Amino acid sequence: MKLLITGANGQLGMSLQKVADQFPEFSFIYTDQTELDITSYDAICALIREERIEGIINCAAYTAVDKAEDQIDLAFLINEKGSLNLAKACKETACTFLHISTEYVFSGEGFRPYLSSEPTNPSSVYAKSKAAGEAAIMKINPDGWIVRTSWLYSEFGQNFVKTMLRLGNEREQLNVISDQIGSPCYATDLALAILNIFKHKLNNSENSNGISIYHYANSGCASWFDFTKAIMEFGKLECTITPIPSEMYPLPATRPFYSVLNTDSTARDFGISIPYWRDSLKNCIEILLTK
């Protein structure tokens, strides 16, 4: 099965490339925004037909959460129109589609892990653009899945873990928000889950029944303060971490206070074992420390 990866130079795209050799049943075409403009429906269809693509994993997205408050049109162009174009192209060419979304589509006002079936209620521009992308995909209803994730980090690009490791080396003390709760997700684990979802479909010869929504993040939950404490622990750094409330660190875009995702259906339906967040964080930091 030939899979097209969009946004291949981002954290998840790079992580998919990292684990690709573990899945000999797939061949891969990797594209970034310079090679495939997902806001162009014709360009997508042409590439699918030229390369005989059978599945698309859409890792391309506008993810600058705070900048989106000012770059509204750009956020919706990529996250809504780009997603719509990919869904339409997959429907037209009978490609299987997997789209990556975010926990930000929820209000963050709950106190139990969000089920994939629960209604969305986004607050920020970024969140609204991602929710609009989901709605556009569901309206087209191609064969495949929307997979929501949260607090993504990896060895690649810029992310919270790498930033905290750098700051922990530079400073003796850091203030970190303690009243926002979520589930960290190691991009390598997500990449493995995504390809196992495709593998499950291949092995089970499932009939097309439209788009389904699933959640994937590492098991367990943490505050940003808890997450940072663990980063310092595994990074063997002596930096003191002080908890602070969100109001002491105001940002342009609203963040959900509780964004833990219920991943039970993902584990059950695809037979995927989901690692605990601290175990995966330790693995990632060990790799980073050897670079």
Q: Catalytic: 62?
A: no
What are the extents of the domains in the chain? 2-159+184-218+260-275
DSSP string, 10-61: SHHHHHHHHHGGG-TT-EEEE--TTT--TT-HHHHHHHHHHHT--EEEE---
Q: What is the pLDDT of residue 201?
A: 85
- Is the pLDDT at 217 greater than 70, yes or no? yes
- Nearest Cα neighbor of 82 from 63, 104, 69, 66 is 63
| CA 3 from centre of chain | 18
pLDDT in tens, 254-282: 999 999 999 999 999 999 999 999 999 99
- Is the pLDDT at 195 greater than 90, yes or no? yes
Per the model's pLDDT, the better-predicted residue between 202 and 184 turns out to be: 184
The pTM of this model reads: 0.96
Q: Cα dist. 55→26, 49, 101, 274, 285 in Å?
A: 10, 12, 17, 24, 32
The region that residue 66 occupies, defined by phi over 0 for left and psi between -120 and 50 for alpha, beta otherwise, is: alpha
Query: What is the dihedral angle through the alpha carbons of 172, 176, 181, 185, rounded to the nearest 10 degrees?
Result: -50
Pairing state of beta strands 152-153 and 185-186? parallel
226 vs 228: CA distance, rounded Å: 5
Annotated catalytic residue, options 62, 104, 114, 126: 126
Write down the architecture of domain 2-159+184-218+260-275 according to CATH. 3-Layer(aba) Sandwich (3.40)
Question: What are the phi and psi torsion angles at 231 (to 5°)?
Answer: -60, -45
Instruction: With residue 99 as reference, give the H or E element that holds it.
Output: strand 96-102
DSSP 8-state secondary structure symbol assigned to residue 118? S
Helix (H, G, I), strand (E, B) or coil at 274: coil
Question: What are the phi and psi torsion angles at 164 (to 5°)?
Answer: -65, -35
DSSP 8-state secondary structure symbol assigned to residue 101? E
- Is the pLDDT at 205 greater than 90, yes or no? no
Q: What is the pLDDT of residue 281?
A: 98
